[in-house]
Amino acid sequence: MTIANRYNLVMSAPISTKVFTIALVTNLLGMSINQPTFAQVGEYCQFDREAIATKENLRTAVFQDTSKSANLDATKEYQAIIREHSQALNTCRQKSWLKTQGIWLRLYPCDLLSGKLDEVMDRIVNKGYNQVFIEVLSDGKILLPQSENATAWNSLVLSEQYKNADLLKLAISKGRERGIKVHAWVFTMNVGTGYGRGLDRNGLSKLTVARQNAIARNANGDSTISIVENLGKNIAGEVPTKDQLFVDPYNYQAQSDLYLAVNEVVKRKPDGVVFDYVRYKRGAGAASVVSNVRYLWIYGTSSLQALRDRAENFQGREIINRFLKQGYVTPNDLKIVKKLYPQETEPLWQGRQPSNQSGQKEPAISYWQKELWQLAVGHAFIGVTYYLDIVSKPVFQQKIPASIAFFSDGNQPVGEGFDSRMQPWHLFTSAYEWQPMAYAVCGKPDCIVDQVRRVANYAPNGTKIAPILVGQWNEPFTNRPSLELQMQAIRAAVPAITSISHFAFGWQTQEIEFSRSRQICKL
């Protein structure tokens, strides 16, 4: 389309579109103007249909027109409109209470095709998003070029033709061109069933004995994949998935594998790194609540050793061993322990005061049960934070912002037990941005707001909080209000929050067909 034709189009466009497009045309002609260059409608900085259509027509011309001269003209105009939209989006966000509006995005191999990633990023900008979380490690695959991948995971793109293609680096570049902050989204303890599969560069199996030992297990030796298949839905109504595999957070191999992966990701210089699945697996059915130590995922070799090492005398170590093996202790166990180590007064371990200091001379067996259970729960919690501190080091070393996605109810006691996810977000520090997944369902915003408010009440001073919401624009979804209603309710309840994200791009009604076409496409 020539500039003259573009100008004729402007004259029949709505006022909001005229302001935007006239600004673009006059800039292309080398003129200067003082008018604002807005093409958004509403407070969420979404672009109007005319602006979207103009940009998409130019994108199509750039990547489909075979005429060199025509393509050159279209490329210049497309780049100009991208810059204009970027500036308009930034201006709108600065004026809005919601400074950052993010979206979670999964990429597919076919996004490497000419113009496809541009289309994805354009669609994100069109909806007013100025932040995107790109999945770089999930489902046992990693978003690194095959030719440069030395990690424990296979590359997402396995085509020999595209073995050098760096989809993550490309996505970061395309996003930034449009004024989008691009964050890398990393699965943390859930390494996926693809962990250790395939061969390394030397032709040796990635699934070494060390990696087999890195997998989290319960007292029966089950992994998080081996027990889930025969169970029903959990308390949240979720059907258990079979592709999740969680690691023992105390295991050195697991730590070093993810550390290497994160280090490779930060080499691409994302605007941030968000850690997801910073927890254990949530069981299905009755297993969604755990009340016996034998069902905690702390029976990997490394985790067991670390727990035993928390004992501060021989009696303590022996009673911990018996508790781990049986799931409980008896008065007879205490008698046996005392006979084995008569030189010691009573069992001791980290965090426990001797009875003569607590004023209770002969504690009942229920006391020991409670103390040992709290020790086990604390050990599981600390393992998560310990693992996170190690694998996040490359992010902090490069001074890249780090954040954690978590469930606000994942750390709670339930009856006599605990939520099986054992997600200790109350132990996270303000060095990370907190991103609570406010996914509550009650038909109105109240329960969603309650989850956000709970996190805000517990967060240390200075902690940045950016809730994650599920829903659709302009309409209710799965018994949740529209995204607009959810965001307005959060704004009213916790006005300090200025950043919110939506999960996920591929779930939004307008993007389902588009995302499916990208998923089933073959390079």
- CB under 8 Å to 160, separation ≥6 — which residues? none
Tell me what the mean pLDDT of segment 190-204 comes to: 93
Query: Helix/strand/coil (H, E, C) string of 33-53?
Result: CCCCCCCEECCCCEECHHHHH
Q: Is the peptide bond before 504 cis (omega within 30 degrees of 0)?
A: yes
8 Å CB contact between 153 and 194: yes
Alpha-carbon distance of 64 to 95, in angstroms, equals 37
Mean pLDDT of 46-74: 87
Structure tokens at 470: 């599920």
Q: Name the DSSP class of 154.
A: E
pLDDT on residue 283: 79
Tell me if residue 100 falls in helix, strand or coil: strand
Asked if 502 contacts 493 with a C-beta cutoff of 8 angstroms, the reply is no
Could you give the CA distance from residue 186 to residue 345 in angstroms, rounded to a whole number? 48
Q: Token pair of 234, please?
A: 């959990």
Average pLDDT of the segment spanning 51-71? 85
- Which position has the token pair 């996270």? 428
How many angstroms separate the CA atoms of 373 and 394, rounded? 34
d(CA 124, CA 118): 10
Task: Give the span between the Cα atoms of 468 and 438, in whole angstroms.
Answer: 6
- Tell me the pLDDT band of 108, cut-offs 50, 70 and 90: very high
| Residue-averaged pLDDT of the chain | 89
Q: Are 264 and 144 spatial neighbours (Cβ–Cβ below 8 Å)? A: yes
Name the H helices within 96-115.
Answer: none
Q: Provide CB contacts within 8 A for 313, sequence distance 6+.
A: 341, 344, 347, 348
Instruction: Give the chain's radius of gyration (CA, Å).
Output: 27
Name the band, by pLDDT with cuts 50, 70 and 90, for residue 235: low
How does pLDDT run across 275-307, given as a tens digit for each residue?
999 999 987 777 889 999 999 999 999 999 999
The pLDDT score that the predictor gives to residue 363 is 82
CA distances from 500 to 1, 408, 411, 457, 466 (A): 38, 15, 22, 17, 5
In this predicted structure, the answer to whether residue 8 has a pLDDT above a threshold of 50 is no
pLDDT at 22: 30
As given in the structure block, the two tokens for residue 24 are 């673009």
The CB-based long-range contact list for 1-10 (8 Å cut-off, 24+ gap) reads: 1/57, 1/58, 1/61, 1/77, 3/28, 3/29, 6/54, 9/54
Residue 33: the pLDDT is 32
Secondary element (H or E) of residue 105 = strand 100-105
Asked if pLDDT for residue 210 goes beyond 70, the answer is yes
Q: Which pLDDT belongs to residue 29?
A: 33
